[in-house]
Amino acid sequence: MGEKMKCAPPLSKETGVLDVKPLRTLSPMFPASLGLNAVSPPASWPFVFVTPHGSFTSGNEVLFPSNFCSLYPSFCPNGMDKKSIKSSQVKKTNGSVHDGAGKNGNGPSHDTVLAPCPLRAMPVITVLSDNDEDLLLNDGLSTSDVKIEQPVPLGSCPVGGGEIEGSDMKKPKRKRFKKAQDPELMMLPSSSYDARESVEAILMTFDALRRRLLQLEEVKDVNKRSVTKAGTIMMDHDLRANNVKRIGHVPGIEVGDLFYFRIEMCLVGLHAQSVSGIDYMTARFGDEDDPVAVAVVSAGGYENDDEDADVLIYTGQGGSGKNDKKQIDDQKLERGNLALERSLHRGNEIRVIRTAKDVSSPGSKIYIYDGLYKINKSWVEKAKSGFNVFKYKLVREPGQPDGIVTWKMIERWRKDPSLRGKVILPDMSSGDEKLPVCLVNDVDDEKGPSHFTYTTKLHVSSSISKTLHGCMCHNVCLPGDANCSCVLLNGGDLPYTSNGLLVSHKPLIYECGTSCQCTPSCRNRLTQNGITHRFEVFRTKDRGWGLRSWDPIRAGAFICEYTGEVIDKGREDEDGENEYIFQPTNTDDNAFSWNYIPELLGEPSHPDSSDTIKPLQIIISAKNMGNISRFMNHSCSPNVFWQAVQRDNGDEGYPHIVFFAIRHIPPMTELTYDYGPCGDEIVKEDVPNSDRSRRPKKCLCKSPKCRGVFR
């Protein structure tokens, strides 16, 4: 770290006789959070400040490793907005005001001793108003010197199972890993800064780990526990967001957000229970403490299909057997049920997560955040089993974006496509795609885009003589098969999981082609089998036509290929302004941050992507012929990225360009990708017509990271 670490001095033999007390009367002391001083009473030995990078005596200096950098710039201490928070505004967990500015201005005064907290104690959190919500940070400690909000382990939410807080069930002990000092592991999300980016980074890191673990398990043909393993790794390395329970809105999470696993909701602070449907906490209301519910997961699919979508009838917990859901006893007014009852009287907001069937994975569910609800009433009724159960009526708060309503609307469209209004063409692909692609306009009177020929193929005018050697697999390519040439070309692993998700973004992926002996059902032909989602081309308010999906799209899922005509360099401007040109750029390495962090799995770090990327010569024009990809607009914060795929020729400069989802994408969300940076170029109106197709254009993506222009 550039200088020798300051450690606590050894005890002197001349020290006076200590007042020895029985062990059971001693209270444990805990190390301070990053950026805070650990304070001990006068005449006591210096308290050791333990960090992931060593032990230090208490002092004012906050130290970081010399090679500190961040996978996301907003998490880097040099680049973050260091807003000081007045100590008088920050409340402690017991409701009193904690004065963080002591005698030295950097922590509690020397006559103040930080009280130890029992390890298993449930935190009591003061209920704040909407204006004070952001002041609830890290158990209420002063943040005047906090540079990075250090995440904490999940604690009460075990990955593989477990019960809610207050349960008598013992939680299995889990080995803690020593926190690594690799720069890529310094991805410390904080709801104090860019909350949305923090949440997306955590979810992206978890899913990347899960996909890689699944890839490794498929090679060994072992039981698939990638979700549990990935969740454990994330918690052991303290990678999570929103680590403080709260009532109401969770920073960085939006209504309609999708989750495919319960642990995803745990990691971002939406719902802290990995098994139980009711998440609750003890909150302070005035001078009283009360357990109240903060979130519920409704596991019943589309509840109340014929009734108001803003109303949820929720059944309480308990009374069922351990190994099945059969009711064997009356439910009791305790734990989650009691918290729901107290929420009825307190009138606090409760986050509701609905569930839907995952059609791409039989037996699996998709969790949809449906916004904030309040309990309207509760009652007890007899279930079919004859035992009493609690019922709660939750009503959605007004003024929120659509959540489950969108899903129900699309479900009706599937049953009867004529219910989709403002349709110009029911299938603009004229049957070329496996699923119809409708053209709709509910914005203005535009009748459709300019004429073009719909094609699902990439048309190459000049022949490419270099051929790609094919594999000799008789049925399908198998993971880890050392005799498969396609596996070897991809570095020893198949690029896709068994359920059709891309594992990692690479400079180039090799798929099985026409010279391969494997069947069309081989997973390594993923992008050759056409679209698998129901898309629609729609009219946007200010960016022409756009593309979105009726279906939820999972992170890593294939979307479509960029089809059209491969043209020579220089021809892109011959017809004047051409907005349907795809020309790959190698300057944007952000897509590689989508990959898993190898150090978390004990693997060697990946080489710098800029050293491995070879320039691609291909230029594709979709002006006269193309598919749905020509309607994807630009965004500086996209939800889609492009991937080069080689499959039918050996010239690596002329691959196919295909698109994959960066993150989970809710239905009816516009699909966008980054067209490429423009550097310091500025939009100029006096650019000649012959150069206008490649001149910088004004960006209208409205993203917080908007660069202002794109090419």
Instruction: Tell me the C-alpha distance between 665 and 552, whole Å.
Output: 6
Give the other-Cβ count within 10 Å of 649's Cβ. 19
On whether the CB atoms of residues 270 and 157 are closer than 8 A, the answer is: no
Work out whether strand 288-297 and strand 311-315 pair parallel, antiparallel, or are unpaired: unpaired
Instruction: Tell me the C-alpha distance between 358 and 364, whole Å.
Output: 5
DSSP string, 40-56: --TTSPPPEEEETTEEE
Give the other-Cβ count within 10 Å of 21's Cβ. 8
Work out whether strand 350-357 and strand 365-382 pair parallel, antiparallel, or are unpaired: antiparallel
Instruction: Tell me the C-alpha distance between 588 and 290, whole Å.
Output: 51
Instruction: Tell me the C-alpha distance between 414 and 420, whole Å.
Output: 9
On whether the CB atoms of residues 37 and 46 are closer than 8 A, the answer is: no
Instruction: Tell me the C-alpha distance between 191 and 564, whole Å.
Output: 43
On whether the CB atoms of residues 199 and 253 are closer than 8 A, the answer is: yes
Exposure of 537 in the CB half-sphere (CA atoms within 13 A): 23
Give the other-Cβ count within 10 Å of 631's Cβ. 25
On whether the CB atoms of residues 370 and 403 are closer than 8 A, the answer is: yes
φ, ψ (nearest 5 deg) of residue 500? 80, 35
Give the other-Cβ count within 10 Å of 169's Cβ. 10
Instruction: Tell me the C-alpha distance between 139 and 92, whole Å.
Output: 7
- Predicted structure pTM score: 0.75
φ, ψ (nearest 5 deg) of residue 215? -60, -45
- 545: closest CA among 532, 558, 536, 554? 536
CA distances from 324 to 33, 263, 328, 709 (A): 43, 22, 10, 57
- 205: closest CA among 504, 493, 490, 496? 504
Query: Which pLDDT belongs to residue 175?
Result: 52
Strand order in the sheet with 545-549: 423-425, 438-440, 535-539, 545-549
Kindly tell me the sign of the dihedral angle through the C-alpha atoms of 240, 244, 245, 246: negative
Classify residue 254 as exposed, middle or buried by CB count within 10 Å of its CB (0-12, 13-18, 19+). middle
594 CB contacts (<8 Å, ≥6 apart)?
A: 204, 208, 504, 505, 641, 662
Instruction: Tell me the C-alpha distance between 542 and 625, whole Å.
Output: 24
- 464: closest CA among 310, 604, 613, 653? 653
Instruction: Tell me the C-alpha distance between 361 and 355, whole Å.
Output: 14
Instruction: Tell me the C-alpha distance between 601 and 616, whole Å.
Output: 32
Strand locations in 386-441, DSSP E? 388-396, 423-425, 438-440
Instruction: Tell me the C-alpha distance between 501 and 496, whole Å.
Output: 5
Can you tell me which residue has the tokens 């351990």? Answer: 322
Query: Which pLDDT belongs to residue 138?
Result: 33
Query: Which pLDDT belongs to residue 71?
Result: 40
Query: Which pLDDT belongs to residue 579?
Result: 86
Query: Which pLDDT belongs to residue 3?
Result: 45
Instruction: Tell me the C-alpha distance between 356 and 379, whole Å.
Output: 26
φ, ψ (nearest 5 deg) of residue 560? -170, 175
Q: Is 164 left (phi over 0), alpha (psi -120 to 50) or beta?
A: beta
Helix (H) or strand (E) holding 581: strand 581-582
Instruction: Tell me the C-alpha distance between 7 and 539, whole Å.
Output: 64
On whether the CB atoms of residues 711 and 697 are closer than 8 A, the answer is: yes
Give the other-Cβ count within 10 Å of 593's Cβ. 18
Strand locations in 255-364, DSSP E? 258-259, 278-285, 288-297, 311-315, 350-357
Token representation of residue 249: 């809105």
φ, ψ (nearest 5 deg) of residue 410? -65, -35
Rg (CA), the chain: 28
Instruction: Tell me the C-alpha distance between 413 and 421, whole Å.
Output: 10
Instruction: Tell me the C-alpha distance between 40 and 112, whole Å.
Output: 8
What domains are defined for the chain? 277-414 (2.30.280.10), 419-468+533-704 (2.170.270.10)
Residues of the chain with pLDDT under 50: 1-17, 23-24, 31-171, 177-192, 301-306, 587, 680-693
Give the other-Cβ count within 10 Å of 207's Cβ. 23
- Strand partners for 290: 283
DSSP code of 117? -
Instruction: Tell me the C-alpha distance between 666 and 306, whole Å.
Output: 23
216 CB contacts (<8 Å, ≥6 apart)?
A: none
Q: Which long-range contacts (CB under 8 A, 24 or more apart) does 17-21 make?
A: none
Exposure of 474 in the CB half-sphere (CA atoms within 13 A): 0
Q: Helices H, strands E: what count in the chain? A: 7, 28
